[in-house]
Structure 1
Amino acid sequence: MAEIKLIGKEDLKCFQKHNFPICSINLGKDVKMNERLLCNECLLNFIQENNIIQGFNIIQSKIENNIQEYRHKQISFIAQKKQQLVSLKNNFIAWKSTINQQIDQILGYINLWIDNIISKNIIKDKYVIMEELENFVNQYEFHEKNFEFLVEQINFINQASSNKIQLKLAQLNEEYRKIITQTKDSFMKIINISQHKISLKPINNQLKQSDDCFTIAFNYTGQIMISGCGKDIKVWNFQNGQIQEVQKLQVHQSTISCLLFSKNQNSFISGAYDHTIRCWLQINGQQWKSSQKYEEHSSDIQCLLLCKKEKTLFSGSCDKSIKIWIVDFANNNLQYCYSLEKHTHIVYGLTLNESETFLVSCGDDQQIIIWKKSNNNKWEFYQLVNQSIREVGAVTSFIKENLFIWIGGVQNGKDCVSYFELIKGCIVEQKNKEQQLILSPEVFNYSLFPIVFNKEKQIILFRHKFHIYLLTKQISGKYRISTKIKFESNEIWGSMTNDAKFLVLWEKKQCRFLIYQIEYQTI
């Protein structure tokens, strides 16, 4: 890929025309373009603001990375369309050759047919008068019989030749239908009509559980499932959508609210309404060992989040705080570090961007708060997001390095998926991407069903009130609702396996588990 050239950067001056290098950028939304560049002299006249970012080279590097990402996306898209058109052209060339061969064969049959007819065109020019007189006197039907014989011969030739041609026409018609079908499919791919569709096939709905199940999680192989069962944790064998209870872990003193499995080993973390968090380690192949209870929170645990390397745990609670922990799965323990205190009510949702430089939290105080990792690897308050929808934030999740979604949870709310994007160091709501969900003003959207984002298959799973939604990514980069399931109650909890092949839910109305196989097809 050719090197990017940013034209004009050599001539950049600060907006007050000082003769000093550019050192900072003003990222405020209301700032005019020619007032964004700042030097050290300019900064003397500015009160320190969150939207002033130091380090012009860093911003320039991010701009170049954004351009490279766009160019790569553009080049890949055009190359894909070109390849599809070349493939379509080559198909037509191949079809033309095949059809021409079949038409040539038909023409050969017709020529042979003509030759056979011509060979029967033997009409005598000379007749013996006395023979013809005898035929006339005795009323012989000599010529009539000869003519009938000729007709029989011609009919035989016609039938045989016609059979050959009809067989070839049938083959040609079959080839033609095949060409039409394949051509339509090729056209649909080229004009971007072809999309992946998801359907959910129910495979098991017979398992009953009367105790509340607010959380479900799967191990990294997808063969072990854990679920809440009141204040206990159930461990299940999970094979091709069939589950079998193995054991029940009974150490928490109140309802299990969060379960979080390691993506690398058979260890998990549990949180409960008894205000405690525990680590669990599998020993001897089947048994599970609990750590001590960690009681830094003073109220119910509402959400748990692990970083990719699984060395840091974030926990949100009804005590309004987010706690930061060091995780040691090998020794089955946690170490409390510090607390993030900015929310004024329950913390319901947590998410990290891919590079793990930003943490987003939301909750009952109708705030979306951005936390940033500082140079000393400590999380600090960064931004309070300006959002158009002032509702309780039930869940949130990054779906891209600089893009996250947020879903509210109140009665008579907007009932939509909101998108927020990191632009020039500032989180900005993207109203044009907002997706309307089914309006259900009569109920709340409960928490404890985190958004599940499968990056490999680009699938988003979430629950909103009465519905379970699955969103898939389109070639345009946008996500659309691929399928949804409606329930009679809004009390539904569950999760999806890591390979996005199975969905397991528990719904309170009938106190039962529901298992679905996720099927993919192209339409």
Structure 2
Amino acid sequence: MFQVYNIEDQDTGSIEQNLKQKWIPLQQKDTQIAIKALITLKSHIQKQMIAFIESSLKYIQDLDNQVQELQLKSKQIGQLVYELPYQVYNNPNKLNILLQEQLVDCERIKQLLKNQLQNLVNSDILINCFQTIQKINFNDTITSLNRIFHPHQKQKDGKWICDQHQQQIRYIELKGEISNKLACENCRQYNKYGQYITIQNMKNKWNEYIIENLNSFNLAQDKLISKSNIIYQQIQSLTTYFQKLIEEINQQLNNQTKLENDQLHQQFQMMQQDWSEFTNSQLIDVAYIYAQKNYIELIEQEFMAKDIQISKMMNQTIGFCNMLVVQFESFLINWNNPLINQISNKDKIEQTNQAVPLNYKLQEQYNIKEEKCLSFAFNSDSNVLVVGCNRFIKVFQFRQGQLTQTQILDNHKDYVRCLYFMNRSNQFISGCNDCKIMIWSCDSNNLWYCQQVLEGHTDYIRAGVIMNNREDLIISGSDDRSIRFWSKKDNQWYCKQILNGHSNEIRSISLNVSSTQLISCSTGTEIFLTQYIQNNKQWCIMQIIQTNKCGYSLKFIKDDLFTFQPYDQGYLLIYKRDQENRNFQIIQELKINSKDNRWDFFSQQLIEEKSILLHKNGNTMNIIKINQKNNEFSVVQSIQNSDVYLYGAMTRDGKYLVTWDSDSICIRVRKYQQ
């Protein structure tokens, strides 16, 4: 590639020319290849980290299983020794054989653990990492550099031999049409009309061609990198802006959670002070404060005002975040598929006029084999999913549709049928066929533990466990025909009221948007409308709605609108409150898809952000779109199973639907697509 000089002719000018025009482009090319390899290596390492964490969690689970297995075998050996008949003691060899049979699995366990440990570090990702590192190569660049500073070391030509005459090839034919363009001296003599040039001349022309193209490549690449840096700087500026925004929001929230009333603040400080340290004037203040006895009321007044302000901030934040999510998804579509901008205006207009149906597409790569799963619940951020798998509660981390199991909770003794995640605290509730309700909290290590067990129900808890808006009230429905209202005092939940109006097993409960009315249905042919009476602070039955069929699912959509699923019927009833007599009446019978209407349990889920109702009837899960303007309901997608064992839940934003069905025996993830 580089010109060859004799050592005595080599000067600074020629070295500079070779470095600038010929070596720099080659060096920049190798540098870009190395940078790209390092970026790829970073991606591989991140994937390896995730894979290592997942494998480690599984390995820990396997270790726990092996510990249990060894404990069981140790217990069996102990029982074997104590229960051996007398004649076996007279035959030690027979006893030895029996014990060897019990201990033979130890070697198997040890080898299994070794193999699994080896798998933690042996993976395709690591192989890709080594292959990527091999791509970092400056050998050619170094060789070229040596040619500049050591011109006496001439480049060697290849030993190309003519197949016909077994002589060294010295020429190449550029413009001719002959099949063999390589020629030795004999070939050139036989083909006097060929347009040959020497190999050395071809080599020089090739070097010039390389330099020209490398310069063009580096010039174009510099422009692209410059524009990429602009995008990166914009993203960095955006990151800085959002960091400032988060800091301002945190400051406002801190201000809203502090006492601003000077008198209340002074009283609060006095409460922190030791009694023996009070001055005379402070003792007088204590007597005055106690005589007034309005401290709690003042606190409630101030904090109610602050609660209203924080609620406004929360609504604004949610609206802002939702707007960003929509813009972000639109940005990603154009980012990942820039050719979409080349669609003609006519095509865009036609697409805009077309109705976009809802579609939740199955993401097969995220399937997880699992035993019977009867209940699901996402937390408020939809990054944690809890699943009732038989009597266990399995906790999963949920990211971009991928589930990673992090914990198994085994406090319940029967099927876990109800799960509810709190919005205002990092807690969730579970209801079970063992008649118990459990409150679960998360510790500083992100591990869940049972904080309290609520006992009182005497039969299965399958109708639901729900909360009011303030989340200071838990409502549970049971097969024991009662609805229990649990209140909180001194950070402990207790049963505040028992409603015994139903004469049959309760199947479903739902609170209205304002948390002032409760509807419930049972195996009887009536729906109970219960209302909270502020004067006596009790829930009282206000209306009994007679139905032709018993029901097993209902849901408040608005304060004056709810749905009801009758047993063994292929339609969903929509009830609306009449403005004149204030009673609920049927306004629509929505035909839904189902082929098996046997009795089963599934709480309807309302996704307010997308106006979607998730509802199951028999063996079919129906996704129902709600027109909020005219209260019309329409089925937009259906998911069927061979039997009624089909359960699931949507994320709070309606982006993902997670289900379990008996056909696949898998937890399956579906993603919303337009």
| TM-score normalised to structure 1 length | 0.59
Structure 1 residue aligned with 2:614, among 455, 461, 470?
461
1:479 pairs with 2:640: no
Structure 2 residue aligned with 1:207, among 368, 384, 393?
368
SS at 1:456 equivalent: helix
Structure 2 residue aligned with 1:337, among 496, 509, 518?
496
Please give the residue correspondences for 1:229-308 in structure 2 after superposition, counting only pairs within 5 Å. 229-302=389-462, 303-308=464-469
Structure 2 contact 614–621 (Cα < 8 Å) conserved: yes
Deviation at 1:409, TM superposition (A): 2.8
Deviation at 1:252, TM superposition (A): 1.1
Please give the residue correspondences for 1:27-42 in structure 2 after superposition, counting only pairs within 5 Å. none
Please, which runs of 5 or more residues in structure 2 have no aligned partner?
A: 1-341
Deviation at 1:301, TM superposition (A): 0.5
Change (3 A) 1:422 1:236: same
Deviation at 1:473, TM superposition (A): 2.6
1:408 pairs with 2:566: yes
CA distance in 2, matches of 1:481, 1:350: 23
Structure 1 residue aligned with 2:589, among 426, 431, 434?
434
Aligned partner letter, 2:551: G
Deviation at 1:286, TM superposition (A): 1.6
Aligned partner letter, 2:624: L
CA distance in 1, matches of 2:668, 2:351: 36
CA distance in 2, matches of 1:506, 1:295: 29
Deviation at 1:209, TM superposition (A): 1.4
CA distance in 2, matches of 1:416, 1:423: 22
Aligned partner letter, 1:354: V
CA distance in 2, matches of 1:199, 1:206: 18
CA distance in 1, matches of 2:349, 2:393: 54
User: Which stretch shows the higher mean deviation, 247-256 or 311-320?
Assistant: 247-256
CA distance in 2, matches of 1:310, 1:428: 27
Residue aligning to 1:153: none
Structure 2 contact 394–405 (Cα < 8 Å) conserved: yes
CA distance in 1, matches of 2:597, 2:578: 34
Change (3 A) 1:327 1:509: farther
Structure 2 residue aligned with 1:317, among 478, 487, 491?
478
Residue aligning to 1:372: 531
1:417 pairs with 2:572: yes
CA distance in 2, matches of 1:262, 1:358: 19
Aligned partner letter, 2:619: F
The structure carrying a bigger strand percent of its residues is 1
Change (3 A) 1:184 1:293: closer
Residue aligning to 1:356: 515
Residue aligning to 1:507: 661
Deviation at 1:185, TM superposition (A): 6.2
CA distance in 2, matches of 1:473, 1:443: 23
Deviation at 1:360, TM superposition (A): 0.4
Deviation at 1:223, TM superposition (A): 0.8
CA distance in 2, matches of 1:392, 1:291: 36
Deviation at 1:179, TM superposition (A): 6.4
Deviation at 1:415, TM superposition (A): 1.5
Of all paired residues, the percent bearing the same amino acid is: 23
Deviation at 1:408, TM superposition (A): 2.1
Structure 1 contact 407–417 (Cα < 8 Å) conserved: yes
CA distance in 2, matches of 1:180, 1:299: 63
The superposition leaves residues 267-290 of structure 1 with CA deviations (integer Å, 9 ceiling, x where unpaired) of: 001111110101011001321121
Change (3 A) 1:515 1:327: farther
1:470 pairs with 2:623: yes
Structure 2 residue aligned with 1:391, among 545, 549, 554?
549
Deviation at 1:207, TM superposition (A): 1.1
- Return structure 1 stretches of 4+ with deviation > 6 angstroms: none
Deviation at 1:370, TM superposition (A): 0.4
Residue aligning to 1:126: none
Q: CA RMSD in A?
A: 2.2
CA distance in 2, matches of 1:305, 1:438: 27
Aligned partner letter, 2:609: E
SS at 2:452 equivalent: coil
Change (3 A) 1:310 1:196: farther
CA distance in 2, matches of 1:364, 1:319: 12
CA distance in 2, matches of 1:207, 1:255: 20
Structure 1 contact 417–437 (Cα < 8 Å) conserved: yes
Aligned partner letter, 2:592: L
Structure 1 residue aligned with 2:357, among 197, 203, 208?
197
Structure 2 contact 367–669 (Cα < 8 Å) conserved: no
Residue aligning to 2:29: none
CA distance in 2, matches of 1:292, 1:445: 32
CA distance in 2, matches of 1:265, 1:203: 31
Structure 1 contact 395–406 (Cα < 8 Å) conserved: yes
The structure carrying a bigger helix percent of its residues is 2
Higher RCO by CA contacts (8 Å cutoff, separation 6 or greater): 1
Deviation at 1:497, TM superposition (A): 0.8
CA distance in 1, matches of 2:531, 2:619: 35
CA distance in 2, matches of 1:182, 1:232: 50
CA distance in 2, matches of 1:271, 1:294: 9
SS at 2:373 equivalent: coil
Structure 2 contact 421–429 (Cα < 8 Å) conserved: yes
Deviation at 1:196, TM superposition (A): 4.1
CA distance in 2, matches of 1:244, 1:327: 33
Structure 1 contact 226–236 (Cα < 8 Å) conserved: yes
CA distance in 2, matches of 1:262, 1:182: 43
Please give the residue correspondences for 1:60-209 in structure 2 after superposition, counting only pairs within 5 Å. 181=347, 188=353, 195-204=355-364, 206-209=367-370
Structure 1 contact 409–446 (Cα < 8 Å) conserved: no
Structure 1 contact 326–335 (Cα < 8 Å) conserved: yes
Change (3 A) 1:195 1:353: farther
CA distance in 2, matches of 1:232, 1:277: 14
Residue aligning to 1:36: none
The superposition leaves residues 370-423 of structure 1 with CA deviations (integer Å, 9 ceiling, x where unpaired) of: 001113231101111133xx223111111112000011233xxx3211011112
The superposition leaves residues 267-322 of structure 1 with CA deviations (integer Å, 9 ceiling, x where unpaired) of: 00111111010101100132112123221100010111111111111100000000
Change (3 A) 1:437 1:291: same
CA distance in 2, matches of 1:350, 1:443: 20
Structure 1 contact 386–428 (Cα < 8 Å) conserved: no
Deviation at 1:510, TM superposition (A): 3.3
Please, which runs of 5 or more residues in structure 1 have no aligned partner?
A: 1-174, 189-193
SS at 1:291 equivalent: strand
Deviation at 1:446, TM superposition (A): 1.0
SS at 2:459 equivalent: coil
Structure 1 contact 418–429 (Cα < 8 Å) conserved: no
CA distance in 1, matches of 2:526, 2:349: 52
